[in-house]
Chains A and B, each alone.
Chain A
Amino acid sequence: MDSVKKKAKELLENQSVNLIIGYGEGSDKSVRTIFISTADEVDQLIYDERCVQNLAFYLMKHEVKHMGKLGIIAPLPVMRTILQIASECQIKEENVVVLGVNPKGELVECNGFKDIESYVAACDLDLPAKEKEIIAKLDAMTVQERWTFWTNELSRCIKCYACRAACPMCYCTRCQVECNNPQWITVEATPMGNLEWHFMRAMHLTGRCVNCGECGRACPLNIPVNLLTYKTVMTVKEQFDVVSGTLANMDSVLSSYKIDDKENFIR
């Protein structure tokens, strides 16, 4: 972490950034996001296995965005999110300084998105083994069994939208669930209303989810909602051979087309 802190200090001292978004000690041995604006505060930065929150969310937060040029401590999921939001034209290369960090807590120099792309290309981007196992079990179920599994899980949902709020890819200023003229998605937190909401969210993240798992961690009721978007990650890989969050400039799988597509229906 020393190399990261050194770099952070440098950036703040020479005023290359106004604010650094990073991880610091939280309450009860947890970790929280901290915002560092002076070199003196740099020692508060930490990085260990507890640092899992996807900090890229804050790059899109109004108040944070307006605090000047931003630096961000970026483990792999944050790097991938930055590439993905860049490919969706939500962030410009010159507006963020990325302080990459590898699993050992060492600095990964990122002078621009190209460096992030090379780092990401060399990483294992596969889903976590535990989740892959659960998805394999779900895949092996009959349709009826899977339906029962998801209606059971999602019936607990209270629609607090923590999954959406925590997800850095859910940056719409007006989510479809809030469009009420006409009302596309049932607002009520009933089993059917919850299914509609979570399936819609998964569809909107298809080809965009960078499998950081933040939605699942954010859920106060332990609903494994990340399994839904993880499944879309697997499908997109199989069907399109595309992995989101790997390039700063890539076409969206579900909203772009090529004239030379191998499928006939597109012509």
Chain B
Amino acid sequence: MASLLGTSPKAIRSFEQVGTTFRRILKTAALLPAAEVCISEDSASGGNIRDCSSEGEDPVSHVHPSWKLRFFHGRLETFNSLSSLKGSRSMHVFRPVYIVFALVGLILVARTILVPADFGIQESGYMYGWYRKANEKEWKDFALKYRGKEYCADCHAEQDQQIGSSRHQAIECENCHGPGREHPSDPPKLDLDRTRELCLRCHTFLAYPTSKRSEIKGLDPDRHNPGAECVACHDPHRAAKPG
């Protein structure tokens, strides 16, 4: 890699040459009088003598009133000095460019292998719909846990009727009994929450005037039989209907 990037003494020499060329380009870009460029080029390129009058013009005539012509001559000089550098060693400068091209090619090949075919712009547009389409299906197949009252009522019709005629009719079976999942096969027995804390979710009295919470029959949990399980005395399936 090091030699590729051109750190060998040979390459350093060629870099020096490139530097010289670059200085020349700068000079020409500064639009120096063409004749002057011509002379300085000859001395800088180490005795590589070119006849400035070889273009069939007197060196003095390079100092032309037209800027365009002067610029043209300057470019021509640079081209001459570039082509006069020894051999093709000056092409080392392009090696990093080849590496970049190879890397870009490699990334493009890897992309076609790694990125699935359904990844791209979907229905919701370029800005919000840039994704892997198959993921929608993965979310749709997510396992259900809560089955709902109707699922329970299929077998436990008696209890469903009981709670349906009580004040607790709005409460889902699974809120207290736990998620049904694939019951009765999995789990065979549900994890019923009998704790006092479950009842207190609604029945801790909170005197909030702008909330329905204050309309629920509530108590102060620190005063009403603290520590006792509510279900020891109260049957949640037979909560009294409002009179």
Task: Note whether A and B form a binding pair.
Answer: no
